[in-house]
Amino acid sequence: MTKNKHLYVHIPFCNNICYYCDFTRCKYNEDLVEKYLDSLQFELSQRVDNFDIETIYIGGGTPSSLTELQLNKLLTMLKPYTNSVIEYTFEANPDSLTLNKIKLLKQFSINRISLGVQSTEQRLLKLMNRQHDQTMVEEVINNLNTMGIHNISIDLIYSLPTQTMDEWKNTIDETLLLDIKHISLYSLTIEENSVFNKKGYSNLDIDIETDMYFYAIETLNKAGINQYEIANFAVEGYQSKHNTAYWNYNDFYGIGLGSSCKINENRFDNTTNFIKYFNHNFIDIDYKLSTSDNMFEMVMMSLRMKKGLDKNLFKSRYGFDIDIVYQEQIKANVKKGNLINSDTNLKCTDSGLYILNTILEEFLLND
Ligand code: SF4
């Protein structure tokens, strides 16, 4: 059995709450962070039993909201797991990633930064309650490059309430002026628990959202930042190894509040309750997926990638040929021009990728 080589670590604290956000997070509080890091250390020692981790992703929340001292504590506890690490990602917001923190990250071998930029338009940043501006973004990117961290990813959001196509085009164009290797796009859905919802904002028209998505694909591909997954784009060689492990439906550890972990057919969802977490009651839901659930999950994750699903990997994992398990769905969707089925891979066409959820509904009917 291959060992689990991927580790996600959740830091749920943020200096500031964005109006669109519905993630597991809370406002930064020094005492809470201290207690949290202690529990995290305990969870790590109890639940992560492989030290040969290849990818680590510290996400949030906003991991860069931690002070230098707290960051030092976090990175020191993770150090024993980093001997074989090839991609070590740290999520940050431009307003809290200081030069000293970057130096610390470098010292602990972090080699990839995922930066929450979201937009380059000041009006929209204000609407979202983001605390940075484009000058800060440029400064952080400059500092990262100076410190030798060149693998930089930027998150952008589109389909924001009141956002115009021109504002989206500006954001894409201005982002392309920065020296970055990877872009992740998020189409905003106004979630029930977000401030946007409480303020009465509604989603943008679906036609504008579609235009924004296709504009981004065309422009980024032309600039050599190629789409390799529904919402992710990279310069060749800079595709996220950690996220690709999720999309290949590999196993992964997940520690921290609200994180998930997959080990073979077992899934573990962590609690989102601080009190339970501080009492070391880490796992909230623990369940076993059937083979047919697992086969569907692998299809669902792998079809997100442009290269699609590795048919040999599917067979080696589940003992079944995907062409037989999903014979009807594959045939029908190839005929409709949604899927391409070769000897080695099953993948979406460009138009199929956009309606992946509809395709997956048909695969789900197999149960
Ligand atoms: S979007 Fe990110 S930075 Fe903003 S509140 Fe949510 S987790 Fe925090």
DSSP 258-326: T-EEEETTEEEEE---HHHHHTT--EEEEEE--HHHHHHHHHHHHTTBTT-EEHHHHHHHHSS-HHHHT
The string of DSSP codes covering 182-229 is: EEEEEE----TTSHHHHTT--PPPHHHHHHHHHHHHHHHHHTT-EEEE
Q: What distance in angstroms lies between residue 27's CA and the mean position of ligand 1's atoms?
A: 10
Mean pLDDT by 10 residues, the chain (367 residues): 87 94 88 97 95 96 98 98 97 98 98 98 96 96 97 97 96 94 96 89 92 97 98 98 98 97 95 97 96 96 98 97 96 97 97 95 82
Q: Whose CA is nearest to atom 1 of ligand 1?
A: 21
Structure-block tokens of residue 324: 């037989």
Task: Write down the pLDDT at residue 2.
Answer: 62
Q: What distance in angstroms lies between residue 352's CA and the mean position of ligand 1's atoms?
A: 31
Q: Whose CA is nearest to atom 6 of ligand 1?
A: 21
Question: Using one digit for the tens of pLDDT, what is the confidence trace for 221-235?
Answer: 999 999 999 999 999
Reference 163, options 199, 130, 120, 197; nearest CA is 120
Task: Write down the pLDDT at residue 343.
Answer: 96
308 lines ligand 1 (CB under 6 A): no
Q: What distance in angstroms lies between residue 356's CA and the mean position of ligand 1's atoms?
A: 27
Model pTM?
A: 0.96
> Which residue out of 13, 16, 18, 64 has the highest number of ligand 1 atoms within 8 Å of its CB and is therefore the one to mutate?
18
**Chain length of the chain:** 367
289 lines ligand 1 (CB under 6 A): no
- CB count within 10 Å of CB 275 equals 8
77 lines ligand 1 (CB under 6 A): no
Residue 54 DSSP label: S
> Which residue out of 13, 16, 23, 27 has the highest number of ligand 1 atoms within 8 Å of its CB and is therefore the one to mutate?
23
CA distance 88 to 74: 13
Task: Write down the pLDDT at residue 3.
Answer: 80
